[in-house]
Amino acid sequence: MPAEGVDLTPSHELLSTKEIVHLARLFVSQGVNKIRLTGGEPTRVMESIDQAIALGLRPLKINCVVVRGVNDQEVIDFIEMTPSGKIRIGREAFDLIQANLMKKGDVFTVSQIAGINAAKQTGYLIPLCHSLLLSHVSVDLKLEQDHSIEIIAKVECEGRTGVEMEALTAVSIAALTVFDMCKSVSKDMVIENIKLLEKTGGKSGTWKSKEIK
């Protein structure tokens, strides 16, 4: 409660229930396991977190006050994108990869590294994409029974812009790397079905492909 003689904040200036729930979900998605609703003076949200991390505080306890029109824009959405793609490589290349006998080396490891590096360099590869500070990038490859490789990338960032292009670039470059490492065996490979599977966070909220609903 405010001190005696201090007026209560008008209702229209308070965060709505929907906004509070959204805010709580953002913190919970990043591992926060205790949230207490209270009041007080507004704090600089991200500045406080940065200072605590710089001091090496583990675990980190954060007390934040979010006030509409004062510091609510400092609360950053955590955005996650999951795209996929496939490259059909044929029986011979499939068997060599499975036995890790491809002349150029470990196809999966090299392609994973290429995809991760590509996601980080998307702003330089695509003219109208801004460079983003990504908090997580992973690329997974899996041999399928139809002599193809399924590629799934997961990209996360802390910000209000999407990372669709970074995630799709990771899948695309991983697939091209597979092609490069296997082209001595077969040039009849096909890269296909590069698409977004799932998106969470950001202004537009959660989106899922019909394939995984």
> What's the pLDDT score for residue 196?
87
State the catalytic residue, choosing from 72, 95, 140, 180.
180
CB atoms inside a 10 Å sphere around CB 9: 12
DSSP string, 59-102: S--------TTTTGGGSPPEEEEEEEEEEE--HHHHHHHHTT--
Give the neighbor-by-neighbor strand order of the sheet with 148-158.
134-144, 148-158, 78-88, 190-200, 207-208
3-state helix, strand, coil split of the chain in percent (to 5) is 35, 20, 40
Structure confidence at residue 133 (pLDDT): 76
**Residue 77 annotated among the catalytic residues of the structure:** no
- For the chain, give every residue range classified as CATH 3.30.70.640: 78-212
pLDDT of residue 106: 94
Provide the CATH topology of domain 78-212: Alpha-Beta Plaits (3.30.70)
Backbone angles phi, psi at 159, to 5 degrees: 175, 180
Strands 134-144 and 148-158: antiparallel
Residue 178 near residue 111 (C-beta atoms within 8 A)? yes
Dist CA 102 CA 183 (whole Å)? 10
User: Minimal CA–CA distance to 206: which of 22, 28, 47, 1?
Assistant: 22
Going residue by residue through the chain, which has 213 residues, state the pLDDT in tens, using 9 for 90 and above: 555 666 666 666 666 777 677 767 766 766 667 776 665 555 555 566 666 666 666 666 555 656 555 555 555 555 567 879 999 999 999 999 999 999 999 999 999 999 999 999 998 898 888 777 788 889 999 999 999 999 999 988 876 667 888 999 999 999 999 999 999 999 999 999 999 888 877 666 677 887 665
